[in-house]
Amino acid sequence: AEVRRLESLVAKLQGEVAEAKKGEQAANEEMRGAHAQHAVASKQLQGRIEQAEESLDEIQGLFDLQSAELDTVKSGKAGVEVVLVRVRATLTTTEGALKTEEGKVRVLTSEKAALQASLAKTQKQVRDAEAALSHSHDRARARAKLL
């Protein structure tokens, strides 16, 4: 009876061992599946990281380009400001020269008016002298006729 009980116990333990082995195999299968899923997820994550890095590189490139364009604009602005200062200086000089010339024109206009008045007076004197001379000639002719 003891042998049968021990045989029964051995058979029962062998069954439990077989069940444990099946459980272990199932656990190993589950573990392999989990590892495979982990590998796929890891690969996907790595792909997303690479895409993000590429996007970041593109953004950095655009930023660098915009920065370079901004530097160019700033440089151009500085050049324009220098030209603007020169133009303003030239304009100031030109305005000064224009005012000087306007003063000269006013003086010349005044002198011209004085000369025109003098010319008109001289022309009147010439006409008066011609008229007097003509009158004098007329009187001399009249006297010559009388004599």
Structure-token pair, residue 87? 């133009």
Give the pLDDT of the chain (147 residues) as one tens digit per residue: 888 999 999 999 999 999 999 999 999 999 999 999 999 999 999 999 999 999 999 999 999 999 999 999 999 999 899 999 999 999 999 999 999 999 999 999 999 999 999 999 999 999 999 999 988 888 888 888 877
pTM for the model: 0.43
Alpha helices in the chain (DSSP H): 2-146
Q: What is the reported pLDDT for 55?
A: 95
Dihedral of CA 120/122/123/129: which sign? positive
What is d(CA 115, CA 112) in angstroms, rounded to the nearest whole number? 5
